[in-house]
Structure 1
Amino acid sequence: MRQVILDTETTGIDPKDGHRLVEIGAVEMINRRFTGRSYHQYINPERHIDAEVVAVHGIDDAKVANEPVFAEIADAFWAFIEGAELVIHNAPFDVGFIDHELTMLNQRRKAPVLGPVREHCRILDTLVMAREMHPGQRNNLDALCKRYDIDNGHRVLHGALLDAEILADVYLAMTGGQTALTLDAEASSKQQEHQTNEGLSVERLSLSPGQLRVIRPTTDEQAAHQAKCQTHKLRWFEELRTDA
């Protein structure tokens, strides 16, 4: 499965107020492995960038004054994401801005028509997933990095490509790690089995039942397990429905 982990930075909060994209960053994974392909582009938004968001991402008017406008990068960006499953934290925000840009572009040039995103890509919202897995807790990117022991110390300001790379690590941690680790574990298990079959002895411990500790999951741990199972069940159903 081809996935694109994506993030954007903008001039403000809502495209309905005329706000625009100023940066897009994305990394590609196929079958849960990074391919080395990425997409990164600063964009001239053709408007002023609000001071409060400059404080968040550090992108001011001067920084993007000589960058291409969205119409100049739209085709290359669309070619990178089309047909993929997009992994986005708080997807309605990013998808809303992308669709807004595509709508304005389509109105001006008529053809070829690009978008809307949900008609050409599946969307996986990691914020929704995190809220289901960790109800009642903070689930922004920084909180998830701390929860899953992912180093984000280099993240002083928000940045689309940097945040996409961090989100990719968070997503893999949330969904069980990289496939490569699983393959390594399976290989190790098979190697141990092979060694045993070659005649290596297996030492069995003789313990009475009273010597064995049984640690049962807490109510919170059981709830978290059920939430994670439900998340994977919903994702499987969505993939099945989409492919039908």
Structure 2
Amino acid sequence: MREIIFDTETTGFDPKNGDRMVEIGCIEMINRVTTGNTFHAYFNPQRSMPAEAEAVHGLSDAFLADKPLFAARAQEFLEFIGDSPMVAHNAGFDFNFINAELSACGHPIVGLDRMVDTVALAKVRHPGAKLSLDALCSRYGIDRSHRTKHGALLDAELLAQVYVELRGGRQIGLELAADSIEIVTETKVLVQRNRVFRQPRPHAATEGELAAHAVFLQSVDTPLWGA
């Protein structure tokens, strides 16, 4: 199964307010193993970078000034992701931005039915725990010492490791049957497993056991179970 693990960096929180995507990093996984194929790009947002956003990812106006517009690489991005499921942390945020950018340059949006949200997965597996990418890396012993600022490709690489753990680790086969069906929404995970049912084994007492029991009852005064 092919999946795309991805992350974005932006100028803010909401494309409806004029915020733009400035970086995207995508990693290809097949059967929950990274293949080494990636798509990574920076984009000129055609607007200034707020100081608060730059403090998070370190992408300045000067750095982004000579980068292409999203429209220039949109087709390449769409060819890379194909029709594969798209996995992101707090995926609704990232989907809002990539679909806003795709719509702005006349491309079809990515359907939300392809969205897999690792926050939703983590809520099911670790209810009540901290769900940030940093917290999940700590929980699973994933080294993030080189992550001094947010970066789309770096965060996608960390998320790929977290995603494997959320799906049961490298021993996935021990947790999910090969023919199981998994549906992921933003709020919960529904898992249907096909099970093999065996016929019940006979548990009736033998004639010898019944005879021994009858003898035992004769030695008990008014046994409650003798009726």
Q: TM-score, normalised by structure 2?
A: 0.75
Deviations 1:169-199 (A, max 9, x none): 00011112236x969xxxxxxxxxxxxxxxx
Task: Tell me how far apart the structure 2 counterparts of residues 78 and 178 of structure 1 sit (CA, whole Å).
Answer: 29
Task: Tell me how far apart the structure 1 counterparts of residues 108 and 147 of structure 2 sit (CA, whole Å).
Answer: 31
Deviates more, 1:170-179 or 1:4-13: 170-179
The 3-state SS of whatever aligns with 1:139 is coil
Deviations 1:11-50 (A, max 9, x none): 1111011000100001001111211100100000111111
**Which residue, out of 214, 231, 235, partners 2:189?**
231
Task: Tell me how far apart the structure 2 counterparts of residues 34 and 102 of structure 1 sit (CA, whole Å).
Answer: 26
The 3-state SS of whatever aligns with 1:233 is strand
**Could you say which residue in structure 1 is the equivalent of 2:159?**
167
- Whether 2:40 is the aligned partner of 1:23: answer no
- Whether 2:43 is the aligned partner of 1:51: answer no
Residue identity in the other structure for 2:94: D
The 3-state SS of whatever aligns with 2:189 is helix
> Do 1:10 and 1:22's aligned partners in 2 also have CA atoms closer than 8 Å?
yes
CA apart distance, 1:117: 0.8
Q: Which runs of 5+ in 2 are unaligned?
A: 175-187, 194-227
CA apart distance, 1:131: 1.3
**Which residue, out of 154, 174, 184, partners 2:146?**
154
The 3-state SS of whatever aligns with 2:137 is helix
**Could you say which residue in structure 2 is the equivalent of 1:87?**
87
Aligned residues: 181
**Could you say which residue in structure 2 is the equivalent of 1:216?**
none
Task: Tell me how far apart the structure 1 counterparts of residues 114 and 14 of structure 2 sit (CA, whole Å).
Answer: 23
Which one has a larger percent helix, Structure 1 or Structure 2? 1
RMSD: 2.1
Q: TM-score, normalised by structure 1?
A: 0.70
**Which residue, out of 103, 114, 117, partners 2:110?**
117
CA apart distance, 1:102: 1.1
Residue identity in the other structure for 2:14: D
Q: Which runs of 5+ in 1 are unaligned?
A: 107-113, 184-229, 237-244
**Which residue, out of 119, 130, 135, partners 1:127?**
119
> Do 1:27 and 1:39's aligned partners in 2 also have CA atoms closer than 8 Å?
yes
